[in-house]
Amino acid sequence: MITRGRYAELAGAVALVRACWWGMQMVHEAGHVLAALVSGGRVVAVGLRPWAISRTDVDPNPSPLLVVWGGPVVGVLVPLVAWSILRACRVAAAALVRFFAGFCCVANGVYIAVGGLSGIGDGADLLRHGASLWTLVVFGTVAVAVGLGLWNGQSRVLLGEGGVLRRMVLGVVLAAVAIPVAGWIVTIR
């Protein structure tokens, strides 16, 4: 029989994965936007909908290769830096941000490597703008390895007796709701 505490844990785990997905898309698209602005491009639209794959449209785009790389690079580095800072400050939520950083690394790594190999998404755009396939595969492999390393041992920290997720389930559920709402509100058109 599943106890009430286990239901809360399950709800928290589902909410954590949803919040990670939407948060990853927001950070990834912020990387495209930042790279566009730095390179003198003009952001025409950013689509952040919880039920669709996110996208950023830039026109004119004087540095398309930089803009495309901006998404996965910022999408990996920002969560890693955030986790490092929280860990150094010994903030309890660092365990959740560690999971998020691992999620971002795995998601961006798979997206770029598989996209490059199958000709879809940012991977296809990178190849079209002159990136070498091997750089996509190396980026993807390293990012996924780092992400899996961050996830290693996390189940005990997040789900164990008195684990972080159990203590912060309400916050995680609220984040899972707030992040897509924020994405919907800030969608540029």
Spans of all domains in the chain = 4-186
Sequence-ordered alpha helix ranges (H) in 89-168: 94-118, 121-128, 133-151, 154-159, 164-167
Closest CA to 109 of 94, 122, 91, 96: 122
**Residue 41 CB neighbours (<10 A):** 21
| pLDDT > 70: percent of the chain | 78
Place of tokens 């992040």: 179
**CA pair distance 107, 129, nearest whole angstrom:** 22
Question: pTM score, two decimals?
Answer: 0.86
Structure tokens at 171: 């916050």
Convert the pLDDT of each residue in 106-154 to its tens digit.
999 999 999 999 999 999 999 999 999 999 999 999 999 999 999 997 7
